[in-house]
Amino acid sequence: MSTPKSRKAELRHGLGRMRSRLTEDDVSVAGGAFARQALALPELASARTVGAYVSVGREPATGPLLDALRARGVRVLLPVLRDDDDLDWAPYEGPERLVAAGRAGRMVLREPAGEPLGLRAVLEADALLLPGLAVDGRGLRLGRGGGSYDRVLERLAEAGADPALIVLVYEDEVLEDVPAEAHDRPVQAAVTPSGVRRFGA
């Protein structure tokens, strides 16, 4: 009998194969479109601090968005993956201040070179951009499967922090249904290259 966890793993595999078919040009062109759509969100227009991430591989490219937010004077916090898979945070100071952070058996991430600010720095964020492989009509996000962002969302909830939660996904990754577990928390919006999909009231 399949479980939500096993169905998530199967869905991740299929979506990962779909993304692997994208070319570097596909990702680059879509990155500009993602930035334009996201920057028009009122949640980002009014934000003073935004938690974000540096895309890897064929993920929706976040570079143009990170630079545009920084040019607006927004304080952008990026994750720094700890050995226990939890996320510390450090300020984004431009692409030249990102360093490769490879760990055995894990994907190579690009992280800020500056001093980490601590696990709770993200509590200051007005909006949080989340990586995801898919999102469904309830706003439930399918993440990479490492659980790092589940810890972040739990930390936010425990502290009573309520940033806008936004996921970036390609058009064909907005699905009818994503397997859900008890700890999964919906996002308020999904940004695609062609528009924004909102969830909830």
> Is the pLDDT reported for residue 1 higher than 80?
no
Question: Rounded mean pLDDT of 147-169?
Answer: 95
On whether 148 is known to bind a ligand per the annotation, the reply is yes
On whether 195 is known to bind a ligand per the annotation, the reply is no
Q: What is the pLDDT of residues 44-78, one digit of tens each?
A: 999 999 999 999 999 999 999 999 999 999 999 99
On whether 57 is known to bind a ligand per the annotation, the reply is no
Q: Give the C-alpha separation, 189 to 117, whole Å.
A: 27
Mean pLDDT of the chain: 93
On whether 153 is known to bind a ligand per the annotation, the reply is no
Tell me which of 90-94, 132-136, 182-186, 192-196 is least confident: 182-186
On whether 143 is known to bind a ligand per the annotation, the reply is yes
On whether 72 is known to bind a ligand per the annotation, the reply is no
On whether 66 is known to bind a ligand per the annotation, the reply is no
On whether 149 is known to bind a ligand per the annotation, the reply is yes
Domains of the chain: 4-198 (3.40.50.10420)
User: Could you tell me which of 116, 121, 108 has the C-alpha nearest to residue 159?
Assistant: 121
On whether 8 is known to bind a ligand per the annotation, the reply is yes
Which pLDDT score is estimated for 182? 84
Question: Rounded mean pLDDT of 17-21?
Answer: 95
Which pLDDT score is estimated for 107? 62
For residue 51, list its beta bridge partners. 77, 128
Q: What is the pLDDT of residues 95-112, one digit of tens each?
A: 999 998 866 455 678 999
Which pLDDT score is estimated for 103? 60
> Is the pLDDT reported for residue 201 higher than 80?
no
| DSSP class per residue in the chain | ---HHHHHHHHHHHHHHHHHT--HHHHHHHHHHHHHHHHT-HHHHS-SEEE-----TTSPP-HHHHHHHHHTT-EEEEEEE-TTS-EEEEE---GGGEEEE--TTSPPEEEESSPP--GGGGGG-SEEEE--SEEETT--EE--SS-HHHHHHHHHHHHT--PEEEEE--GGGEES-----TT----SEEEETTEEEE---
On whether 5 is known to bind a ligand per the annotation, the reply is no
On whether 191 is known to bind a ligand per the annotation, the reply is no
Q: What is the pLDDT of residues 108-128, one digit of tens each?
A: 789 999 899 999 999 999 999
pLDDT range class, residue 94, cuts 50, 70, 90: very high
pTM: predicted TM-score of the whole model, two decimal places: 0.93
On whether 144 is known to bind a ligand per the annotation, the reply is yes
On whether 54 is known to bind a ligand per the annotation, the reply is yes
On whether 24 is known to bind a ligand per the annotation, the reply is no
